[in-house]
A = this chain, B = another copy of it.
Amino acid sequence: MCVARYQQVADSIRGQIADGTLSAGDRLPTEPELVDEYAVSRLTVRHALDVLQAEGLVEKFHGRGTFVRRPPQRVAYVSACSDGLPQPQAENVEIETYVRPGSVLAEAPLTALMQVERGTELAEYLYFSRRDKRPYSLARIHVPLDLAELLDTPTARLPWGAEIPHGLQAAGVRLAHITERVTTRPPTQDEADHLNLPAGATVLEVERTSVDDRGRVVEGAQLVAPQDRIEVVFSKALPGSEGGDLR
């Protein structure tokens, strides 16, 4: 067998998307129709569509059909560590963000991020954003209770809660260090529900911690978004001409 049948079917549909025969938002033929069209079994058609879905080219909806996705159009998360870059953000993409303040008792992963004892009460800001009317990102930002009192109730402008470290700084907290860590992983059940993710999806996570000049973690953020809808950008201006070493 030179090329698997399901790959041939996938290639054919991929080509139709590439050359415009099928364009963003269009519904593909139904699975039974594709079975007739390509003279293969339904499993083979499904396998082909699964491949295309994994590639992010199409999206399947139970009971509705399979649709061509918009080209990726990622939203940039510009690192809090960056110099010189504005937060350009969502040019033509509409993103609405909601914040919900509250508090939680620190549990397993949070204790490590915030470097606190299990059970410590922390202020929590839950950011939930939608893009094109659909769930897009989730951010959980935690701040020690005593510092949270210094903050104004945040008005969400960006889905990642960049105003929190700014607010802390404005309130007199002396930030010494910001660190960000980018990984991908399968979503938790909770995240999959909120973000409406299909089975097998992967999220990209940014963990951010802000540390003050006494070494205390004053903010810990966990941002989660579909891996193919986001990019993370870091930028650094190097001091002077040649004096500065890279790190």
Contact = CB atoms under 8 A, between A and B. Distances in A.
A177 B238 contact: yes
Interface string A38-79: 000001000000010011100000000000000000100001
- Count the copies: 2
B181 A231 contact: yes
Nearest to A7: B199
B186 A184 contact: no
Given A166-B246, A182-B233, A184-B204, 14 more contacts: A81-B236, A82-B247, A83-B247, A85-B179, A175-B246, A177-B235, A177-B237, A178-B238, A178-B246, A180-B234, A181-B231, A182-B182, A184-B202, A227-B227
Given A176-B238, A213-B241, A181 B233 contact: yes
Given A54-B200, A234-B79, A172 B242 contact: yes
Nearest to A185: B228
A175 B238 contact: yes
A80 B246 contact: yes
Contacts of A183: 74, 231-232
